[in-house]
Structure 1
Amino acid sequence: MSVRVLIRKPTPADCQELLALHHRSQEFHHPWVTPPLNERDCQDYIDRCHQADFEGLLICHVANDRIIGVANFSQIFYRSFQNAYLGYYADVDFAGQGLMSEGVRLAIDYAFGILKLHRIEANIQPENRASIDLVKRLNFTREGFSRRYLKIDGEWRDHERYALTVEDWH
């Protein structure tokens, strides 16, 4: 199988391309995720990617380095927990092509290999079937249901909780 995507850390030079992706995909992302829609918030996101408890990765097309999605690991804990929360989203122009599955797979390899995490958790709204299907393809296990778990777009939303450990990854 040929490699179609790569992952890399965002830089300030990526801000305009990210903003264009976010605006183009805004309706597609609603109500699942609300990425930055202005330059200040985008720069804040890129700055956050340099903090110890957060790792943001761009998923890019190998052919032209175009950003086709984002994978984030937030609230990274070490010591006896070694856990992070995974969030991701795609550019609407590349949805449904399997590129995000490939990119998130690379991001998980990075989290277990480079970040030395033991466990990754993904919390997904039950109506977001595409995202649930993605984590299931990647061998995540459904662990439970969290009522009114996150406030997104001004509303507290239910989520299904999925997790993957390094032992189940390889």
Structure 2
Amino acid sequence: MRDEAEWIALRNRNRDWLRPWEATAPPGTADAPVSFRTFIRKENSMWRARRSFPMVIEKDGRLVGRVTLGRIEWGAERGGSLGYWVSQDEAGHGIAPAAVVLMSEYAFGQGLHRIEVAIRPENSASLSVARKLDLREEGMRQSYLYIDGAWRDHRIFAATSAERRSGEWWTGVSSNVSG
């Protein structure tokens, strides 16, 4: 709760930067706005149920983004969908690839087998993250998520715990990022 003011300021500063990439509810189905306290309560509940692993990204003690593994399925699938964003003023400095690696390693360590990342074809920054991490591209999902006023296509990338080559991810990120 102590991060509320910083979180709200970060989101407000990056509203236009994130609009083309963040999923929203289609018209007529929008959820009512929630308070920060309700948002945190829901995130904590999903964490305890092991349905989502939401985390903030910090740099030098400041909030600069978010990485989440959501839509987690256990049982035979043992996978989830990974999403992330970094503030505009921190983009391009290797923070997103590092966050994806750390979240993936955490998820695999918790017993998940597969992570998936959905990226809009126009999102060159996120496509760069997928390339840096050598994520396997699996194809295109047509009209996959409602974003910025329309249903948008997404390229799907994935990695499994068997593919991760422990230790090599971080080395690859360190040698392939700028800043």
TM-score after normalising by structure 2? 0.79
Runs of 4+ in 1 over 6 A off after TM superposition: none
Q: 1:26 aligns with which of 10, 15, 18?
A: 15
By percentage of residues, which structure has more strand?
Answer: 1
What is the DSSP-based 3-state SS (H/G/I as helix, E as strand, rest coil) of the residue aligned with 1:107?
helix
Shift of residue 94, structure 1, vs aligned partner: 0.8
- After superposition, the CA RMSD in angstroms is 1.9
Return closer, same or farther for 1:77/1:130 CA change in 2, 3 Å cut-off: same
Shift of residue 125, structure 1, vs aligned partner: 0.5
Q: Which amino acid aligns with 1:20?
A: A
Structure 2 residue 46 is matched with structure 1 residue 56: no
The separation in 2 between residues aligned to 1:44 and 1:93, in whole angstroms, is 28
Q: 2:158 aligns with which of 150, 158, 163?
A: 163
Q: Which amino acid aligns with 1:109?
A: E
Q: 1:136 aligns with which of 122, 131, 152?
A: 131
What does residue 104 of structure 2 align with?
Answer: 108
Return closer, same or farther for 1:42/1:158 CA change in 2, 3 Å cut-off: farther
**Higher Cα Rg: structure 1 or 2?**
2
The separation in 1 between residues aligned to 2:88 and 2:38, in whole angstroms, is 23
Q: Which amino acid aligns with 2:75?
A: R
Shift of residue 134, structure 1, vs aligned partner: 0.4
Shift of residue 79, structure 1, vs aligned partner: 1.4
Q: Superposed, which structure 2 residues align to 1:1-170 within 5 Å?
A: 12-33=1-22, 40-50=34-44, 51=46, 52=49, 53-61=51-59, 63=60, 65-113=61-109, 115-170=110-165
The separation in 2 between residues aligned to 1:168 and 1:108, in whole angstroms, is 11
Shift of residue 34, structure 1, vs aligned partner: 5.6
The answer to whether the Cα contact below 8 Å between 2:21 and 2:120 also exists between their aligned partners in 1 is yes
What is the DSSP-based 3-state SS (H/G/I as helix, E as strand, rest coil) of the residue aligned with 2:3?
helix
Q: Which runs of 5 or more structure 1 residues have no equivalent in the other structure?
A: 1-11
Q: Which runs of 5 or more structure 2 residues have no equivalent in the other structure?
A: 25-32, 166-179
TM-score after normalising by structure 1? 0.83
The answer to whether the Cα contact below 8 Å between 2:114 and 2:160 also exists between their aligned partners in 1 is yes
The separation in 2 between residues aligned to 1:34 and 1:17, in whole angstroms, is 22
Q: How many residues align?
A: 154
Q: Which amino acid aligns with 1:99?
A: I
The answer to whether the Cα contact below 8 Å between 1:70 and 1:88 also exists between their aligned partners in 2 is yes
The separation in 2 between residues aligned to 1:14 and 1:111, in whole angstroms, is 24
